[in-house]
Chains A and B, each alone.
Chain A
Amino acid sequence: MIGANTVLLDHFDDPRRAGAFPADRPGIRRGEAGSRHHGAVVRFELLVAQDGKIEDCRFKAWGCAGTIACASLVAEWLPGRTLDEIRVADVRSLTGVLELPVERAYAPLVVEDAIRAAAEEGS
């Protein structure tokens, strides 16, 4: 992305909690959002503790550099949050943090849809 800011490049070059948990690991909620057609696909996995708080998470993202950076920032924020918090999470402010141009404003929304889908899974 031309003119990407330092926060974006930091999270794009070194995404936090990128990857996936082992498929057979119990207590994982998974959610996915976006489509190839729309230019971004984000998948989140949440490891939820007994008390309903997020203990850890992983993500995979296919999309512009801004989408990957958004997912990484959200992955950094998630641990310690409750499922209820995630269900109402509004991460649109990341557009400002990452200084995304208007045509990339979809990036936080896809990430938001992915974590909400994961929070809803199995509930």
Chain B
Amino acid sequence: MDEPIYLDYMATTPVDPRVAEAMARYLTRDGGFGNPASDTHVYGHRARAAVDDARAQVAALIGADPREIVWTSGATEANNLAIKGTAWFHKDRGRHIVTSRTEHKAVIDPCRWLERNGWRVTWLTPGPDGRVTPADIATALEPDTVLVSVMHVNNEIGVVNDIDAIGSLCRGHGCLFHVDGAQSAGKVAIDLKRSAVDLMSFSAHKVYGPKGAGALFVRREPRARIEALIHGGGHEGGLRSGTLATHQVVGMGKAFEVAMNEFDSEHARILMLRDRFRAALSGLEGVHLNGSATERVVGNLNLSFEGVHGDALLTALRGLAVSTGSACSSASGAPSYVLRALGRDDALAGASVRFSFGRWTDEAEIDRAAEQVIDAVTRLRGISPLWVGAA
């Protein structure tokens, strides 16, 4: 059997060969294998220079100062550092946090942990379009709110939150604003010189870089003060100790550089592919788009199919690599908490598929994928006692 068509770019992306090639130069004896913290010899200097270059590459894509980039093992660690680090540093000033129910588990779980340890968390429910509104944030802010954490792009439904407006609110209120940007880097323009975002998490592997690499943007002016979670050597300005994984960092830097250089062309190409896919499915009735139709990243379509069961649909679509919910939680088999938060009933939430398109998706794949979806849905509806036509 042919390999399934990969339409799960929001779960992870293959490493771009240009990235892999750059990384390979920082592993072996004939390359930049040195410890970037060794300042007494050329091996260390070489690795340090590569880390500095990568820091500048990451900063360039998001409109930051390279000194505002703190390397981490991924977006999960960056989210933990931002949320728990803020809570700990400001614990004497206030113990209230605002976030939403549709955040990634890497934001929800640190917030829950803080709740168990005496902090108060306000959990906002997004509107039917899946977005968290600035008005909701404004209502939730309290005098002792120290942090608001809202994702830029939702990992399941791809909707884009207005982080500029929310950031301004937070700045006015005097609390820090953290944004999980794992799904937005390279897909949505980010300019942290202009946006009032204090902390922003990034991942390499969603942007054709390696797994196990990420970064937290920590604003210098006005300074975002947070406490470190990992101690031991004072690396990364004391915020994240541990010898830097030079090759990983180089990979993330190169990946972000490619994303910046190809931003416009990628955006236009993927938009065209997404529209082609949607148009191909337009003959199928009873298909619902989850999340805002306009405020969304181009590479995501999250669709619910009436009259079919989620598990049966995924089994019928085994020629496609897609997911229900996010890859991190679909192993549990539970209906998506994101779709439920939007008011989808369990059966319809269960028959939802996230299609995500990326750098190597082409028209032929889109056409074959659409054909498989039409065949699967039509066949399953034909034997479904619940299908009597679109509601």
Contact = CB atoms under 8 A, between A and B. Distances in A.
Interface stretch (A21-29, A39-47, A85-93): A39-47
Nearest to B308: A62
A60 B312 contact: no
Interface residues of A, number: 26
A113 B384 CA distance: 17
A1 B385 contact: no
Contacts, number: 58
Interface stretch (A11-19, A76-84, A115-123): A11-19
Contacts of A67: 309, 312
Contacts of B314: 1
Range for the number of chain B residues in contact with chain A: 10 to 19
A40 to B, nearest CB: 8
Interface string A58-74: 01111111011000000
A114 B333 CA distance: 25
Interface string B305-346: 001110110111000000000000000010000000000001
Contacts of A112: none
Contacts of B315: 1, 4, 9, 12, 64-65
26 contacts: A1-B311, A1-B314, A1-B315, A4-B315, A13-B316, A18-B383, A19-B382, A37-B346, A39-B309, A39-B350, A41-B386, A42-B385, A43-B385, A61-B383, A61-B384, A62-B307, A62-B312, A62-B385, A62-B386, A62-B387, A63-B312, A64-B309, A64-B312, A65-B311, A65-B316, A68-B312
Interface of B: 307-309, 311-312, 314-316, 333, 346-347, 350, 382-387
Interface of A: 1, 4, 9, 12-13, 15, 18-19, 32, 36-37, 39-43, 59-65, 67-68, 103
